[in-house]
Amino acid sequence: MGTATLPASNKSWVDKLPIISHLKMSSGLQRGMLISGLALTGLFLIAAIFAPLIAPFDFAQSGNANGDFPRQAAPGGDFIWGTTSGGYDVFSRTIFGAQTAIFVIIAAVVMSLFLGVLLGLVSGYLGGWFDRIAVMLSDAIYAFPSLLLAIVMSIVISQGQSKVFGGVMAAAISITVVFIPQYFRVVRAEVMRLKAEPFVESAQVIGASPWRVMFTHLLRNATRTLPLIFTLNATEALLTLAGLGFLGFGIEPTSASEWGYDLNRAMSDATSGIWWTGLFPGLAIVVTVLGMTLVGESMNDLNDPRLRRFSRKKAKRITEAGVGA
């Protein structure tokens, strides 16, 4: 990760960055998992960022100057992954799908992070009736199938304001609502624990306002475990987006490319043995989720001393046994 070339003064905080510190901690199999996860996630990011450069055609392009594209053409020639029944290029749509995915993931995670952390802080610190209602609500939502809730939310959003927000934003908001309780619970639990700590009490004694205590003293301490939830939620956001798209609640094929929707279209193709329309968007989902899960998993293991495999001696023994990464 290029940390060695950095001046010594910078080393301290670079080493503390979540992923880099985890890389340093890891060894053997765990390092292998972390690195392959990072590689897959990197692939996804590259596809998303450089989609217009990588994809030969536009995602909603079904013809060019030479006329319409062939329909359901097998992979080969101009269309390396074939074309769909609508004449779209599968490769281009899959690459552009990464863009949609990353936008929804970022929007959903950022929004739920913001709202969830805020609610968790206020609810945990101030307590009272607000806390009780918030906990009840979040518990009820938490126990509910998230896909169903996302469906309800997308009905709410796309019924009223679909033209203002666009399908992508609607999907992101639907997913946000599902995730708020998760952040809320984690942050609230942490705040409840920290509330009794001496440093909070001393701040109160000095006369710090509740807001100051919450946002300067508690916020930093209560959000330590969030990077982990972040990676987990990113994968769930993607899977929920694909699920919504598969049920036809996704994004119009002409406004953006979405993997779940493409898979929905591909279901009928599969019956007649046309595999390329479904295989590639599906693989894209799997690769992306797999990459992010591997990163999250490894970070989780490395954060837990009971699961961490970091001693050199042990690592050496594993390598000698021929099982090292």
Partner 1 sequence: MTITSPPGQVPSPLAAPKPAKQKGGGFLRYVITRFLLIIPTVFILITVVFFLMRVTGDPITAALGGRLTPDQLAERIHEAGYDRPLFIQYFEYLGQIFTGNLGRTLTDNTAVTDILTTYGAATLELAINAVLVALIVGIPLGLVAAKFRDRYPDAILRVLAILAYATPVFFAGLLLKLIFGVWLHWLPIAGRADWQTELQLTTLQAPTGIYWLDALRSGNMEAFVNVTQHAILPAIALGLLTGGVFLRLVRTNAIGTLGREYVEAGRSRGVSEFRLTTKHAYRPALIPIITVMGMQIALLLGGAVLTETTFEWKGLGFKLAEYLTARDFVAVQGIVVLLAIIVAFTNFIVDILAALIDPRVRY
Site residues (vs partner 1, CB under 8 A): 28-29, 32-33, 135-137, 139-148, 151-153, 155-157, 159-161, 185, 228, 232, 235-236, 239, 242-243, 246-249, 260, 263-264, 266-267, 270-273, 275, 278-279, 282, 285-286, 289-290, 293-294, 296-297, 300, 304, 306-307, 309, 318, 321, 323
Cβ proximity to partner 1, 58 vs 269, nearer residue: 269
Q: How far is the CB of 157 from partner 1 (least distance, A)?
A: 8
Distance from C-alpha of 127 to C-alpha of 198, rounded to nearest angstrom:
19
Q: How far is the CB of 37 from partner 1 (least distance, A)?
A: 9
- DSSP per position, 87-142: S-BHHHHHHHHHHHHHHHHHHHHHHHHHHHHHHHHHHHHH-HHHHHHHHHHHHHHH
Distance from C-alpha of 131 to C-alpha of 138, rounded to nearest angstrom:
10
| Residue carrying the six token digits 């609500």 | 137
Q: How far is the CB of 277 from partner 1 (least distance, A)?
A: 10
Distance from C-alpha of 217 to C-alpha of 68, rounded to nearest angstrom:
62
User: Residue 160: is it exposed, middle or buried by C-beta count within 10 angstroms (0-12/13-18/19+)?
Assistant: exposed
CA-to-CA dists, residue 308 to 80, 96, 184, 254, 303, angstroms? 43, 37, 27, 47, 7
| Residue carrying the six token digits 């990163």 | 295
Distance from C-alpha of 301 to C-alpha of 295, rounded to nearest angstrom:
10
Cβ proximity to partner 1, 153 vs 214, nearer residue: 153
Q: How far is the CB of 258 from partner 1 (least distance, A)?
A: 13
Q: Please give the helix or strand (H or E) that residue 37 lies within, else none.
A: helix 28-49
Cβ proximity to partner 1, 112 vs 235, nearer residue: 235
Cβ proximity to partner 1, 59 vs 246, nearer residue: 246
Cβ proximity to partner 1, 32 vs 166, nearer residue: 32
Q: How far is the CB of 156 from partner 1 (least distance, A)?
A: 5
Q: How far is the CB of 58 from partner 1 (least distance, A)?
A: 25
Q: How far is the CB of 283 from partner 1 (least distance, A)?
A: 8
Report the amino acid identity of residue 262. Answer: D
| Residue carrying the six token digits 């996630």 | 41
Cβ proximity to partner 1, 256 vs 281, nearer residue: 281
Helix (H, G, I), strand (E, B) or coil at 306: coil
Cβ 92 vs Cβ 158: under 8 Å: no
Q: How far is the CB of 54 from partner 1 (least distance, A)?
A: 22
| Residue carrying the six token digits 């509740």 | 210
Cβ proximity to partner 1, 12 vs 271, nearer residue: 271
Cβ proximity to partner 1, 86 vs 243, nearer residue: 243
Cβ proximity to partner 1, 172 vs 200, nearer residue: 172
Q: How far is the CB of 5 from partner 1 (least distance, A)?
A: 32
What are residue 68's phi and psi, to 5 degrees? -70, 150
Cβ 276 vs Cβ 90: under 8 Å: yes
